[in-house]
Amino acid sequence: MANVKDKETTKVNIKIEGIPFQVEAGLTILEAAKKCGFEIPSLCAFNHGECSKASCRVCLVEATGARGLVAACVYPVAEGMEITISSPKAVAARRVSVELLLSNHNRNCQECDKNGKCELLHVAKITGAQEGRYEGEQTPVTVDELTPTIKRDTSKCVLCGRCVERCKNAHGIGVLGFENRGFKTIVGPAENRSFINSPCIMCGQCINVCPTGALMEASEIDKVDMAMAQGKYVVVQTAPAVRAALGEEFGMKIGTPVTGKMVAALRRLGYKKVFDTNFGADLTIMEEATELLNRIKTGGVLPMITSCSPGWVNFAEYYYPDQLSHLSTCKSPHEMFGAILKNYYAAKIGVDPKDMFVVSIMPCSCKKFEKNRPEMEDNGYRDVDAVLTTRELGRVIRRAGIMFDRLPDEDFDNDIVHDYSGAGVIFGVTGGVMEAALRTAYFVLTGKEREGIAFKEVRGFENIREAEFELAGKKIKVAVTSGMRGAKVLLDQIREGKSPYTFIEIMGCPGGCINGGGQPYVREVFLPNEDDDIMDTYMQKRANALYSEDERQVVRQSHNNVQIQALYKEFLGEPNSHLAHELLHTHYNPNRPRFD
Amino acid sequence: MAHLSEAAVKQITEICDRYADEKTPLMMILSDIQREYGYIPLEVQELVSDKTGIPVAEIYGVVTFYSFFSLQPKGKYVIGCCLGTACYVKGAQQVIDKFSEILGIKAGETTADGLFTIDALRCIGACGIAPAVSINGKVYPKVSVNAVSGIVDEYKAKEN
């Protein structure tokens, strides 16, 4: 830490465009210029050095003491340095860099779903690059559309390496890499395979960081349109994390909760019923807390690990097939809810389940994969028929001409599967499932609610968080992590028989669902109204939106959701009953080859 | 990793262990495997990844970046024809074409009997004896088109 402190306290004097500034030593020219009010266009530099390969050459500037032009994203400032961004030489060089990128780029921009959020077009605009300046050979193109989750189109790749770094940083997996050499270089899984034949967990973090349309979610908007056109009874459910980020798609500040407007928009899009996945989350907690307590009571396999995140489940199947018995058998909340909608609710409202079409709006791209798993079907009906990401929902709302910011706040459909507790809401942030389960487990074991309700010990964004609780005279240790780096540590402990924990929550994406692979892109250049460094704060802001909704809820524990109680009384019997097992639980596949 | 024999797993593990203390062991490990087996298929890369913690995609990137590494098995005799500037102006293209003609394979390919592979090399630093051909480390200086069939016969004779 001493070094970091030194860096902060040591200042250097520099000049940008002839104007003197004092900045921290150790900053790159790009960072220093930003602090001084200059935006140097850049593509490959991302998230405070998470990726800085200086490969795109878009940030070239002149700096005294350097020969020729330097890449601002990696070149550090030094005492007395004079930086020129606007010299004719630097301006021309940046423009040519972008023009060269464009010359090997699929320029069907109007067909690209990234249109409007494309950083290549952004830097083209800033640098004044003209798309047709250079024409020539194109790198051989690979388009991977085999997965239901991620679409990879190398004709739009600028080889910035951000996805490569994110895959490695977030998960330590590194499914993506550069391959071949020179003009034939591409980014992809080894052997230029499809993601479906690689040990990709399909979390979609690579989509979140891609500056262009090279990596995108596989869209299911058409599928939903089709169901609507066929006159199906189309029902929609929305995951908690969506409401914390959807506003960003419409220029609202990060962390603005938009639950009411989101419901209003969905109603205007023609969905017959608008429900909240949180009902499913409450159901999950009833099942999962019961499963945990049973495992503790009967000497079952411990620690038990949550199973809501399909990215994490994929990771477990690929990398720890020998430890799958630790995963809770619970389906994820939207799958549980889907099963209830088709196998219970449909009959209640007199709709043939085969005519019902369940759409899940998810912050997640991997849910698209999960809903296709063979296990996610009951009595011949798919639990969920289509999954749209938060971003896709944004697109659909814009397409329908709905002015989102002018919508009134509306409530979810008031029906027998409508209520949800605050515990369900916080599922969307890392630590939330743990906290929700503890609230209910505490009640089941002690017969009373915990004072203060919240288990704030498990909140936060540190990689691995642990806490110890006393439940009915017994001490239990729990751990929470998100991103597969932490998962690997916890799973290795289990494999070696050294895990001190009883219950573990693991989410695929760093930060949990609020930072899921289907959430709006967080890019400073497209969010000019944010007043702080959003790369450092966006997750906390989105999390706060969920924690504040939890606090506003009257019912904050899943077991106190009266509609959940009624569902058990009338239909399921009790948690972990035979019927509950059939509809709400699943199993895992220990035989998934990493390279098929 | 079903395709790897137990002996291969053992030997590759040994190679990885050899460089366990190195900060950046990958190039050394891959070089040893390339030398030992003549190629580095994906199954082997997976094993190296398991042993070193380096992602498979990164290893694959290194293997496909350096032409020294190969994904396919190479022939018993690897005919490296230098096509660097000096060799090229001295007629190396005709030399490599002659090898192709005699063996019936293109540069980068291996004969069906697994005996010969033709590699087109960039400058191997032997410009003084251009055009140069290097076969399994043995360097043939000033190779003429007419000498090619004699060289091939030399190796074929070793096999009979």
Residue A341 has pLDDT above 60, yes or no: yes
Q: What is the DSSP string of A226-250?
A: HHHHTT-EEEEEE-HHHHTTGGGGG
Q: Which residues pair with A506 in a beta bridge?
A: A481
Structure tokens at B151: 């060289």
Residue A228 lies in a domain: no
- Separation CA A91–CA A277 (nearest Å): 51
Task: Specify the length of chain B in residues.
Answer: 160
Categorize the per-residue pLDDT at B72 as very low, low, confident or very high, splitting at 50, 70 and 90: confident
Which helix (H) or strand (E) covers residue A174, if one does? none
- Separation CA A169–CA A463 (nearest Å): 12
Partners of residue A181 in chain B, C-beta under 8 Å: 64-65
B53: distance to nearest CA of chain A, Å?
9
Does A180 lie at the interface with B, CB-CB under 8 angstroms? yes
- What percent of chain A lies above the pLDDT cut of 70? 98
A168: distance to nearest CA of chain B, Å?
8
What pLDDT score does B38 carry?
85
> Which among A172, A181, A191 has the least Cβ separation from residue B60?
A191
Of the residues B45, B60, B65, the best mutation for testing chain A's interface (the one with the most A CB atoms within 10 Å of its CB) is B60
Residue-wise pLDDT for A377-407, tens only, equals 999 999 999 999 999 999 999 999 999 999 9
* Lowest-confidence segment of A27-36, A199-208, A527-536, B133-142 by average pLDDT: A527-536
Q: What are the distances in angstroms from CA B120 to CA A416, B61, B79, B93, B138?
A: 73, 21, 8, 9, 16
Partners of residue A176 in chain B, C-beta under 8 Å: 57
- Separation CA B32–CA B19 (nearest Å): 11
The CATH number for B102's domain is 3.40.30.10
Give the pLDDT mean for A254-274: 96
Which helix (H) or strand (E) covers residue A29, if one does? helix A29-35
Quick one: B61 and B81 in the same domain? no
What pLDDT score does A531 carry?
78
Residue B35 lies in a domain: yes
Quick one: B54 and B88 in the same domain? no
Residue-wise pLDDT for A454-502, tens only, equals 788 888 888 899 999 887 678 889 999 999 999 999 999 999 999 999 9
Quick one: B146 and B112 in the same domain? yes
* Locus of tokens 């559309």: A145
Q: What rounded mean pLDDT belongs to chain A?
A: 92
Q: Which residues pair with A69 in a beta bridge?
A: A62
Give the pLDDT mean for A272-300: 93
Categorize the per-residue pLDDT at B48 as very low, low, confident or very high, splitting at 50, 70 and 90: very high
**How many A-B residue pairs are in contact by the CB < 8 A criterion?**
48
What pLDDT score does A525 carry?
87
Quick one: A354 and A487 in the same domain? yes
- Separation CA A107–CA A213 (nearest Å): 11
Structure tokens at A238: 């929305």
Residue A32's domain comprises: 2-101
Quick one: B89 and B17 in the same domain? no
Stronger pLDDT, A46 or A528, i.e. the higher one:
A46
- Separation CA A79–CA A84 (nearest Å): 15
Quick one: B59 and B115 in the same domain? no
Partners of residue B53 in chain A, C-beta under 8 Å: 172
What pLDDT score does A544 carry?
94
Categorize the per-residue pLDDT at A561 as very low, low, confident or very high, splitting at 50, 70 and 90: very high
Categorize the per-residue pLDDT at A133 as very low, low, confident or very high, splitting at 50, 70 and 90: confident
Global pTM reads 0.91
What pLDDT score does A460 carry?
83
Residue A85 has pLDDT above 70, yes or no: yes
Test A174 with B64 for CB contact under 8 angstroms. no
Backbone angles phi, psi at A150, to 5 degrees: -120, 135
Does A173 lie at the interface with B, CB-CB under 8 angstroms? yes
Quick one: A468 and A559 in the same domain? yes
What pLDDT score does B86 carry?
95
The CATH number for A78's domain is 3.10.20.740
Give the pLDDT mean for A317-322: 96
Q: How many domains does chain A have?
A: 3
Residue-wise pLDDT for A210-246, tens only, equals 999 999 999 999 999 999 999 999 999 999 999 999 9
* Lowest-confidence segment of A285-299, A301-315, A437-451 by average pLDDT: A437-451
* Lowest-confidence segment of A94-103, A453-462, A479-488, B133-142 by average pLDDT: A453-462
Please say which residue of A167, A188, A217 terminates a domain: A217
Quick one: A124 and A158 in the same domain? yes
Quick one: A87 and A118 in the same domain? no
Categorize the per-residue pLDDT at A56 as very low, low, confident or very high, splitting at 50, 70 and 90: very high
Partners of residue A172 in chain B, C-beta under 8 Å: 53, 55
Test B55 with A191 for CB contact under 8 angstroms. no
Categorize the per-residue pLDDT at A2 as very low, low, confident or very high, splitting at 50, 70 and 90: very low
Q: Which of A420, A487, A423 is nearest to A455 (CA)?
A: A423
- Separation CA A406–CA A188 (nearest Å): 42
8 A C-beta contact, residue A480 and residue A456: no
Partners of residue A178 in chain B, C-beta under 8 Å: 61, 65
What pLDDT score does A445 carry?
82
Residue A6 has pLDDT above 70, yes or no: no
Residue B71 lies in a domain: no
* Lowest-confidence segment of A1-10, A115-124, A220-229 by average pLDDT: A1-10
- Separation CA A420–CA A425 (nearest Å): 8
Residue A432 has pLDDT above 60, yes or no: yes
Mode of pairing for the β-strands spanning A150-153 and A82-84: unpaired
Cα angle, residue A49 at apex, residues A43 and A50 outer, rounded to 5°: 90
- What percent of chain A lies above the pLDDT cut of 90? 78
SS3 track for A483-537: CHHHHHHHHHHHHCCCCCCCEEEEECCCCCHHHCCCCCCCCHHHCCCCCCCHHHH
Test B58 with A177 for CB contact under 8 angstroms. yes
Does A164 lie at the interface with B, CB-CB under 8 angstroms? yes
Categorize the per-residue pLDDT at A3 as very low, low, confident or very high, splitting at 50, 70 and 90: very low
Residue-wise pLDDT for B86-115, tens only, equals 999 999 999 999 999 999 999 988 999 989
8 A C-beta contact, residue A76 and residue A26: yes
Quick one: A90 and A70 in the same domain? yes
Give the pLDDT mean for B12-30: 94
User: What are the residues of chain B with a beta carbon less than 8 Å away from any beta carbon of chain A?
Assistant: 42, 45-46, 53-61, 64-65
Quick one: B49 and B85 in the same domain? no
Give the pLDDT mean for B54-79: 91
Please say which residue of A185, A217, A249 terminates a domain: A217
Residues of A with catalytic annotation? Answer: 288, 291, 308, 328, 367, 370, 375, 513
Structure tokens at A271: 């969905």
Q: How many domains does chain B have?
A: 2
Q: What is the DSSP string of A348-399?
A: HTT--GGGEEEEEEES-STHHHHTTSTTSEETTEES-SEEEEHHHHHHHHHH
Quick one: A350 and A443 in the same domain? yes
The CATH number for A484's domain is 3.40.50.1780
A45: distance to nearest CA of chain B, Å?
20
Residue B39's domain comprises: 6-65
What pLDDT score does A419 carry?
85
A69: distance to nearest CA of chain B, Å?
27
8 A C-beta contact, residue A118 and residue A212: yes
What pLDDT score does A8 carry?
53
- Separation CA A318–CA A195 (nearest Å): 13
Quick one: A213 and A93 in the same domain? no
Does A177 lie at the interface with B, CB-CB under 8 angstroms? yes
A161: distance to nearest CA of chain B, Å?
12
- Separation CA B43–CA A510 (nearest Å): 30
Quick one: B119 and B155 in the same domain? yes
